[in-house]
Amino acid sequence: MNELEQLEQQFSSRIRLSMDQLLPVPDSSRLLDIEQDMNLEKPVNRRWLIWIAVLLGLTGISVAYWYQSQQKVPIQDEIKVITPENTPTRDIPALMHQHLDQQGEPNSPVIYQQEVISDE
Amino acid sequence: MVQDKLQELIRSYCSDDDAPAFRRFYRHESQRLWRYLVARGATEAQAYDLVSEAFIRFLKTVCKNPIAPSAYLFRIAQNLLIDLQRSGLSREVSIEINELESKQDVGGTFIETRDVFVAINKLTRDEQNIVLLRYWLGMTYKELAEIIGRPEGTLRRQGASALRRLKELLPEYE
């Protein structure tokens, strides 16, 4: 048995008795009050909450896009290409493309019509 | 081992939401913690507040690593007490004794418990801390290292030194 063990054997019970005997004892009702005030529900893991929020957000955005695409009613723009009456028919597509290049690409399907101006 | 049972209670609380297990842990440790805080210099009223605050902080974090929960709880409480003492709101003298004079029979020998108490009070604050945690509360040096934040070997040397000093202060109990 080394010195520390001998000293421990000599003093440990005395120290324990002395402290138990002379230190005050807490009021059990006060400790019970503290126990009752404690919220023993474990805190929710915030990392999981963040992931759930991100997933819900992405799902919401996807549903919104899908819903919007279902609601879209194609607008049938009408582009009239006015050509002189004597314009050869084979030139009309080229004129229509030229018109489109000037106006820019429309968002909705476009119906092309040719209106022929009569000289009369 | 009591510490193993306490650890099992906290594991049960953390893994199965076992609130009654946590209450059993609280009932065992709150009284010891309160008395330890009073012995370390807190007033009785402060000790109740510190017990409450220490358990609130303990509850928030213990399940991240539910190993050696008692040592963890005492470390939280000790840090709170150090903050309180730095703020000047706690008394510097670590142990106050009530006026009780008593003798206890240990192995057929009557010893003056008050003499032992006074002798402990003459140790340095670090030595008192080691003596209280190790020989009064029965914690291991490994747990002390967790609470105090020093290597186990250093604490063993300090513990032996504290006991040698007690032996000098109490020569009649050889």
SS (H, E, C) chain B: CHHHHHHHHHHHHHHHCCHHHHHHHHHHHHHHHHHHHHHCCCCHHHHHHHHHHHHHHHHHHHHHCCCCHHHHHHHHHHHHHHHHHHCCCCCCCCCCCCCCCCEEEECCEEEEHHHHHHHHHCCCHHHHHHHHHHHHCCCCHHHHHHHHCCCHHHHHHHHHHHHHHHHHHCHHHC
Number of C-beta neighbours around residue A79 at 10 A: 13
B61 close contact with A: CB closer than 8 A: no
**Of the candidates B126, B12, B10, B153, which has an alpha carbon nearest to the alpha carbon of residue B71?**
B10
**Of the candidates B60, B94, B92, B93, which has an alpha carbon nearest to the alpha carbon of residue B76?**
B60
What number is the average pLDDT over the span A99-117? 60
Q: What are the CA-CA distances from residue B138 to residues A12, A13, A59, B134 (Å)?
A: 9, 10, 56, 5
Query: B19-39 vs B2-16: helix axis angle to the nearest 10?
Result: 130
pLDDT of residue B109: 47
- Do residue A24 and residue B38 have CB atoms under 8 angstroms apart? yes
pLDDT tens digits for range A16-44: 888 888 888 999 999 999 999 888 776 66
Give the lowest-confidence range in B13-17, B49-53, B65-69, B120-124. Answer: B65-69
- Do residue A34 and residue B60 have CB atoms under 8 angstroms apart? no
- Do residue A14 and residue B114 have CB atoms under 8 angstroms apart? no
pLDDT tens digits for range B48-60: 999 999 999 999 8
Contacts of A30 in chain B (CB under 8 A): 48
Closest-CA residue of chain A to B100: A22
- Do residue A38 and residue B59 have CB atoms under 8 angstroms apart? yes
Which positions in chain A have a beta carbon within 8 angstroms of at least one beta carbon in chain B?
3-4, 7-8, 10-26, 28, 30-31, 34-35, 37-43
- Closest residue to B173, CB basis, from A3, A14, A42: A14
Q: Are B22 and B13 in contact (CB under 8 A)?
A: yes
Closest-CA residue of chain A to B50: A34
Q: Are B42 and B89 in contact (CB under 8 A)?
A: no
B15 close contact with A: CB closer than 8 A: no
ipTM comes to 0.78
pLDDT band, very low/low/confident/very high, at A95 (cuts 50, 70, 90)? confident
- Do residue A16 and residue B136 have CB atoms under 8 angstroms apart? yes
pLDDT of residue B108: 45
Most A CBs within 10 Å, among B22, B111, B117, B172, to test the A interface: B117
pLDDT tens digits for range B126-159: 899 999 999 998 888 998 998 888 999 999 999 9
Q: Could you tell me which residue, A41 or B118, shows the higher pLDDT?
A: B118
Chain A neighbours among B 137-156 (CB < 8 Å)?
138, 156
Contacts of B56 in chain A (CB under 8 A): 38
pLDDT of A119 above 60: no
pLDDT of B168 above 80: yes
Contacts of A37 in chain B (CB under 8 A): 52
pLDDT band, very low/low/confident/very high, at B1 (cuts 50, 70, 90)? low
B98 close contact with A: CB closer than 8 A: yes
